[in-house]
Amino acid sequence: MLWLNFKRVVRTGFVQFWRNGVVSLSAVLVMIVTLFVIGGLLFSSALLKSSLSEIKDKVDVNVYFVTSASEEQILEVQKSLEALPEVDFVEYVSRDQALSDFIDRHANDQKTLEALEELDENPLGAVLNVKAKETSQYESVAQFMEANYSSSDPNSIVEQVNYFKNKDAIEKLSQIISAGEKLGFVITIIFIIISIIITLNTIRLAMYISKDEIHVMKLVGASQTFISGPFLVTGAMYGVVSSILTLILFWPLAYWLGPVTKSFFGGISIFEYYISDFGKIFLIILCSGIIIGSVSSLLALNRYLKYKRRK
Amino acid sequence: MIYFDNVSKTYGDDTPALKGVNLKIDANEFLSIVGHSGAGKTTLLKLLLAEEHPSEGTIFFQSDNIHDLKGNEISQLRRKIGSIFQDFRLIPNKTVFENVAFAMEAAGRSEGEIEADVPHAVNLVDLGHKMWSFPRELSGGEQQRVAIARAIVNQPDVIIADEPTGNLDPINTYEVVQILKKINDLGTTVILTTHNKGVIDSVGRRVITLEDGKIVRDDPTGKYVI
């Protein structure tokens, strides 16, 4: 009996979707917009994440050593830094490497290179580039350096820790990153709510057209489940069809925007993201479509379904 | 079979539709209800279908107090009552077959029963050749006959016909009345409301007259008198 009813409900839902072609088309079009917003937010959050990690990657603390510091002393500092739990890794740049990097950087600046040649010896000290696990942890790394190898001590081998120079910029960046993540989340939620309301209203309009039909179904003795089932299936169909169309539309768009996003955001291209994470994107869009379509149908149906008798 | 016990109905704006109606309808009866527009005929039928709630009094269908029924119990009640309306009320995007089959599906009948009974009911109202047409492709008389097929297909105990001939020409009116008489002859109780004097006179069975929500006349083999 249950299976028989289920089969009837699904069959009627499909037939309803097909025969109410114009209503289905308008619901599908509105849902495409909603799913487009959800998909767009998926893409932009992936872009934001990748460009944030790019920026985070560029943040580090550099410890500059005096030129007289021996390699053993520097490696000892490197070891003690690596022992800190906050530190991800420490890169050692020797004096020679620092000089060659400097020359490379100023390859087009003839005057600086000439001035460098005038000097008898390499004026650059070795550098340790310290990478912390989180941007917020740079402060404690810098404090550790200050406590153990204070640059203000005349005997210290450390000439300068550039964190204090960059402190404001790093703090600002940390704040921007965390605010960006929060703002992105809030905007996502607001957009999704707005799109769901628009979809709900479109489906409500579709239900309004069917209200006489629902009344007749009630009069011939159909139960609430038997009436609402096909509408639920039709709502889910709106979701399935519109999610497939949305994914098809995203393909050329991602292909076209891919190179632009890659050069602008510096991280991944959205086309690569679309291809590599297709399964995840497909599931999110499809499930959102089915849930929004069927829940909107149920909410819209609710007012016509109840056995409300006027006293 | 059906009892209206001192039933009154007042709508929200204090308009009384029925006042202290006492009525007993026996099984296999053909009852016609006449009265001016606004006399309370449709309200009486809506109360029987549990579409409205009485302001006072109780209505019994067999042993059930209609007024106490809830949710699915109302659906069960309606499966025992076949309804026919002036505006046909067919489902526009279903074919003749599907419209009639819907009432059987709603009652949980098997596919085999539907395959057998729907063509039978549709042939009974002489629409076998329009089985796969949509309501928009049928005339008013044909649509009303589909509504009758839908009402009888579950073999209900009662058929309610609320001004079923209101939108029909005399020939279709005659045919619909003949079908209703035939249904009654086969043992189903029929409750008919109408404005049509010719219909009442041709049926020649019990007639009650409603005036301002009250039963003012109850004739066992009545004529149309207002």
With respect to residue A311, please indicate whether it lies within any of the assigned structural domains. Answer: no
Domain final residue, candidates A165, A183, A202 = A165
Q: How many CB atoms lie within 10 A of CB A139?
A: 18
A16: chain B residues, CB-CB within 8 Å:
93
Task: Examine the predicted complex and report whether its ipTM is higher than 0.85.
Answer: no
A85 exposure class (CB count in 10 Å sphere: 0-12, 13-18, 19+)? exposed
Q: Does A179 share its domain with A279?
A: yes
**Range of the structural domain that residue A301 is part of:** 2-55+174-305
Give the separation between CA A247 and CA A285, rounded to whole angstroms: 8
Q: Are residues A153 and A260 in the same domain?
A: no
A188 & A292 share domain = yes
Position of tokens 């190898």? A149
Whether residues A121 and A201 share a domain: the answer is no
CA trace torsion B169, B171, B172, B174 (10° rounding): 120
d(CA B74, CA B55): 18
A310 is a domain residue = no
Q: Are B180 and B174 a contacting pair, CB within 8 Å?
A: no
Interchain contact, A221 vs B78, CB within 8 Å: yes
Looking at residue B52, what DSSP letter applies?
B
Q: Are residues A66 and A187 in the same domain?
A: no
* Same domain, yes or no: A141 and A286: no
Below-50 pLDDT ranges, chain A? none
- Residue A160 inside a domain? The answer is yes
Structure tokens at B124: 């009974």
Strand, coil or helix: what is A107?
Answer: coil
Domain count, chain A: 2
Task: Report pLDDT digits (tens) over A63-108.
Answer: 888 888 888 888 888 888 888 888 888 888 888 888 888 888 888 8
CA distance B226 to B205: 16
Tally A–B CB contacts below 8 A: 70
Closest among A121, A74, A73, A126 to A97, alpha carbons compared: A126
| Structure tokens that stand for A155 in this block | 């005997």
| H or E element at residue B164 | none
Cβ atoms within 10 Å of B80's Cβ, excluding its own: 16
Q: What single DSSP character describes residue A124?
A: P
**A148 located within any domain:** yes
Exposed / middle / buried, residue A26 (Cβ in 10 Å: 0-12, 13-18, 19+): middle
In CATH, what number is assigned to the domain containing residue A145?
Answer: 3.30.70.3040
Do A269 and A188 lie in one domain? The reply is: yes
Q: Do B103 and A311 touch (CB under 8 A)?
A: no
Helix, strand or coil, per DSSP, at residue A34: helix
Which of residues A143, A165, A187 is at a domain's end? Answer: A165
Residues A160 and A256 in one domain: no
Query: How close A199 gets to chain B, by Cα (Å)?
Result: 23
- Nearest CB among B11, B91, B105 relative to A216 is that of B91
Which of B49, B53, B108 is nearest residue A219 as measured by Cβ atoms?
B49
CA distance A34 to A150: 57
Q: Of B52, B55, B75, which has the smallest distance from its Cβ to A221's Cβ?
A: B75
- A50 and A67 housed in the same domain: no
CA distances A133 to A59, A144, A210, A217, B10, Å, are: 11, 15, 59, 63, 75
Note whether A121 and A221 are same-domain residues.
Answer: no
Per-residue pLDDT of chain B (226 residues; tens, 9 = 90+): 899 999 999 987 777 889 999 999 999 999 999 988 888 899 999 999 998 889 999 999 988 898 888 878 888 899 899 999 888 899 888 899 999 998 898 888 888 999 999 999 999 888 999 999 999 999 998 999 999 999 999 899 999 999 898 888 888 898 889 989 999 998 999 999 988 888 888 888 899 999 989 999 888 876 766 6
Residues of chain B found within 8 Å of residue A224, distances taken between Cβ atoms: 71-72, 75
Interchain pair A212, B89: CB under 8 A: yes
Q: Are residues A51 and A68 in the same domain?
A: no
Q: Are residues A293 and A182 both part of a single domain? A: yes
Q: B45, B81, B93, B155: which to substitute to probe chain A, counting the most A Cβ within 10 Å? A: B93
| Structural domain ending residue among the three candidates A165, A190, A214 | A165
Q: Is residue A233 part of a domain?
A: yes
